[in-house]
Structure 1
Amino acid sequence: MKFISKPMFILLSSLLFLAACSESSIPEEGKQYVQLPENLQGQGLEPVTEVFSLGCGHCRKMEDFIPVISEKADADIGKMHIVFNQSAQFAAMFYYAAEMQLKATPDHDFMLDLFNAMQMSKETPDEEKTAAMADAFTSRGLVSPFDYNEQQSAELIAKVDEISQLSQRTKIDSVPTFVVNGRYQVLVAGHKDPAKIAETISYLLQK
């Protein structure tokens, strides 16, 4: 019987170690996540924050996976409505009117109503769109933003202006995505399913 020499044993051990590393599921910077251009800790973001827009079809689809991602990552997920342009600004006002009244992130059903109202077809009459937007609030005993008084409107505008500035600082130009600890952006396209997104979030929470 031939014995493996010590140098050969070390070489084989190294190769096996490298093979194990190559199969590692540890998220890679540049593939599964990137660092934000500046540290936004202390800017009012939750440890895990979904960055989204009510006018985004992909964000509507992601909404169905939020409970799964939250459970697998063992983390609550806050929300930040991105402000890209005037259209996104209007949608952000619609969202923050809900969040500010609830003093919390709207639940799943409320979010679906907000998405559905904002994403009605272009052929839908304006009156019907306005009614759907208002009903999302009044059906829950909240004040429709269309009925805000001067003070409420001013507070809402100030909040959206704040978020608009924060949006610019993130440099995020594609949603949905997730910001973790105000430092990292999850690259959703770098994951094959919600469970993998949750794994990356868990990893970044400990980083």
Structure 2
Amino acid sequence: MIKIIKTLSLLFASLILLTACSENQTPELNKQYSELPNDISSLIQEPVVEVFSLTCGHCLQMEKFLPEIEQGINQPIGKVHVTFNESAQAAAMFYYAAAMQSDSSKPDQEMMTELFNLYHASDDLTSVQRKQKLENAFHNKGMTSPYDLNQAQKEKLFAAVTNAADITGKGMINSVPTFIINGKYMVITSAHDDVQSIANTINFLISKG
């Protein structure tokens, strides 16, 4: 009888623990995600966008996992390049010059790798060498270099960077990489242990509308 009672006690304890774990899987406000101070849905076309910078080492690492996250949320992820400091602003110009010349409105994986590598190259490049590599990256993709854009292209680039600056400012975004969902919520990526947990939080926020 005592053994049966002990067994039942252990069973109930296990069920309680399982229930607690199940409840903890639901993302919590200000733990796994936060609400943006302003609704910026009018500035963002896609339900889910990654906010990043070519100058950010963590963003470079996140780039590898984006296909897996897209698979986990069953939809493509848009991109917004932040402009919260001078180096990010300069990098945004290069990113959007490539994005506006891409079929999907964002550079493909090969081009993203080229752009990231320009900012995270192990060797010290002179300004002339960096410019040449940048031009080569664009020319190899059949794109016009940012240095050779015509007036109409420059205006389109300026509009894209201005929109990115509005998103950065109104969203009060000061750290990357992160994800904005429905123009209302921001994922706290540092609060997640793996890619699947990030995907779970994104799915939860998508369902919130």
TM-score interval for Structure 1 and Structure 2 normalised by the shorter chain: 0.7 to 0.9
Aligned to 1:181: 182
Amino acid aligned to 2:41? Q
TM-score (norm 2): 0.86
Q: Is the 8 A contact 1:52 1:79 kept in 2?
A: yes
Residues 1:43 and 1:17: Cα distance change in structure 2 (over 3 Å): farther
Shift of 1:155: 2.5
Could you tell which deviates more after superposition, 66-75 or 100-109? 100-109
Q: Deviations over 1:89-138 (max 9, x none)?
A: 11001000011111522121111111112333572111111111111111
Structure 1 residues 101-120: aligned runs within 5 Å: 101-103=101-103, 104-120=105-121
> In structure 2, what is the Cα distance between the partners aligned to 1:27 and 1:21?
15
Counting only pairs closer than 5 Å after superposition, residues 117-136 of structure 1 correspond to structure 2 as: 117-120=118-121, 123-136=124-137
Aligned to 1:84: 84
Counterparts of residues 40-55 of structure 1 (less than 5 Å):
40-55=40-55
The correspondence of residues 17-166 of structure 1 with structure 2, limited to 5 A, is 19-24=17-22, 25-103=25-103, 104-120=105-121, 123-166=124-167
User: How far did 1:39 drift?
Assistant: 1.5
Q: Which amino acid aligns with 2:196?
A: A
2:152 counterpart SS class: helix
Write the distance in 2 (CA, Å) between the matches of 1:50 and 1:124: 28
CA contact (8 A) 1:82 1:163 kept: yes
Contact residue 181 and residue 205 of structure 1 kept, 8 A: yes
RMSD: 2.2
**Alignment partners' CA distance in 2, 1:152 and 1:52:** 23
SS of the residue corresponding to residue 142 of structure 2 reads: coil
SS in 1 for 2:204: helix
Question: Any stretches of 5+ residues in structure 2 without a counterpart?
Answer: 2-11
> Secondary structure of the residue that 2:30 maps to in structure 1?
coil
Count of aligned pairs = 197
Deviation at 1:153, TM superposition (A): 1.9
Q: Which amino acid aligns with 1:176?
A: P
* TM-score for the superposition, normalised by structure 1: 0.87
* Superposed CA offset, 1:53-80 (max 9, x none): 0010110010000001111121210000
SS of the counterpart of 2:143?
coil
Supply the AA of the counterpart residue of 1:177. T
Question: In 2, are the aligned partners of 1:118 and 1:133 still within 8 Å (CA)?
Answer: no
Cα distance in 1 for partners of 2:184, 2:29 equals 12
Q: For residue 174 of structure 1, give the secondary structure of its aligned residue in structure 2.
A: coil
**1:133-178 Cα deviation digits (max 9, x unpaired):** 1111110111011111233223212321221122101111110000
Q: 2-side partners of 1:75 and 1:140: how far apart?
A: 25
5+ residue gaps in structure 1?
2-12
Q: 1:74 is aligned with what amino acid?
A: N
Q: Distance in 2 between matches of 1:72 and 1:165?
A: 29
Alignment match, 1:5: none
